[in-house]
Amino acid sequence: MQKAFEELYEALDGVVEMGRFNPAVIQAMVDNKDSIISWIQSSAFQEKYAKHPYPPLMNPEMINYEKMPPRLAWELNLPLPYIDMVFLRSHGCGSTGLTAFLKKCGGVEIYCEEFYDVDARDLYVSAFTRIINAKAAGGGAFIYLLVSDYAFRGDYQKYFALIPQKPAINLVRDPVEMLKNYICHRRQVDFGNLFNLTCSPSEVLKNRVGYGFFMNIKSLPVVDSLPFWIHDKMMCFHDSQLIKSCINIKDIYQIDMKEIIGDKARDTMVKLAKYFKIKIPKDCDKEFFARRVADFQFLLPLTLYVHPLDFQKLKQGFTNDLSSCNLKGGIPITITTCYEEQKDKKDITKIFFKESINPVVILVEEQYIQELSQNVNLQKLLKEYLGQFVKALFAKKEEERAKILTPDDILEYFQNRKFLRRKFEQALEQHLEYLQQKRPDIIKSWKYYAKFKAMCAEDKSDMK
């Protein structure tokens, strides 16, 4: 052990600080001494990693990642495995739609929501584990890492540096529209997803969503929260900083959100599919890509629990009696959208609706299909109830859409707030630095950003 450690110590001198490793890691390194030393002294290491701030201490191409403990992989600076693409963006750029479209093209997303709550090592471990599980479950699936949160404390720079050299997408959007999206972004208020036939559809949907952040959720979007979003670099306006931190990524495909909206969406996805070598969208899926993906966000999914005890109760009208939800013997029916379909359930929408209710779908586990198809009375009852529910659902969607502020409302808020204009302009100078170098044409196409810059130019003119 002592001699092996000395040989390892000497070989790694100037490559990594041995004093930072705990005894368990040292033992694992000693056990793999020959392969580590051979790799460190190889021409491949010298050419690719000699100047890397976190060089891998074992050859990544020779690692059996399925058997590699994730925490040890972190200590050995091994890049995250099996990633085909990286998706870089700030929040609020329309990624709900793009991730749904990538899923349609066979993509499997790896996103670690716990970015806010854990240190960089645990974040790496989480991503590593999810990737291994996704590879095992999906066989030849296209796996991509979604990186939308930026931190510059502790070892996060190491986390970004261990994202491998893969092609990337950077989704961008007019910053004023991004601010509007932050303020108008829905939050789930009612976390109960289970209801039954005694429940009034309007009551089920009534308090599903709100607007705001943290503990300050309101029924309407409030523009006064704008300073918070300008300040929050972890989630917002950090594209250039994030790209610089991902030091291995060189090939970045820039997409403006306008390119994935409406009739342009499918054509854009065809281009992306060819560029990243993923499944090309079919002609018949044009409607799927053209719709607004987030229209029913947090309103759905919901589960209607159909229990025989509730059939007679319906004669009394809607009583909102959820007691049957705790009983066995019912049929759980999922109401969701085609963007959130679940593989273990079958689409039975056409049993109840002759006309399209896209993108809404009705799903059920296969074990219940025979019961539903053979019970004519149950079908009739459900057809009537689901008809009422879907009508209320679409009405609720329109009600919520009517609450949304406009980019002009955001610009009006800036009108008499010179300090906030200056702070936002400073944030955007950093945020847009990379895009300005690579795709200035995208920035020039932004209508509301141009209006904001004009306001800032007036400030500077007044100072002369």
**pLDDT at residue 462, as a whole number:** 60
Each residue's pLDDT tens digit, 302-320: 999 999 999 988 888 999 9
Stretch 129-155: mean pLDDT, rounded?
90
In degrees rounded to 5, what are phi and psi of residue 326? -95, 5
Backbone angles phi and psi of 360, in degrees to 5: -75, 140
pLDDT digit string, tens, across residues 316-372: 899 999 999 999 999 999 999 999 877 789 999 999 999 999 999 999 999 999 889
| Cα 315 to Cα 37, 198, 319, 453, distances in angstroms | 79, 10, 10, 62
pTM: 0.91
DSSP label at residue 151: -
pLDDT surpassing 60 at residue 464? no
- 460 confidence band (pLDDT: 50, 70, 90): low
Pairing of strands 216-218, 168-172: unpaired
Reply yes or no: is the peptide bond before residue 301 cis, omega within 30 of 0.
yes
Q: Is 437 helix (H, G, I), strand (E, B) or coil?
A: helix
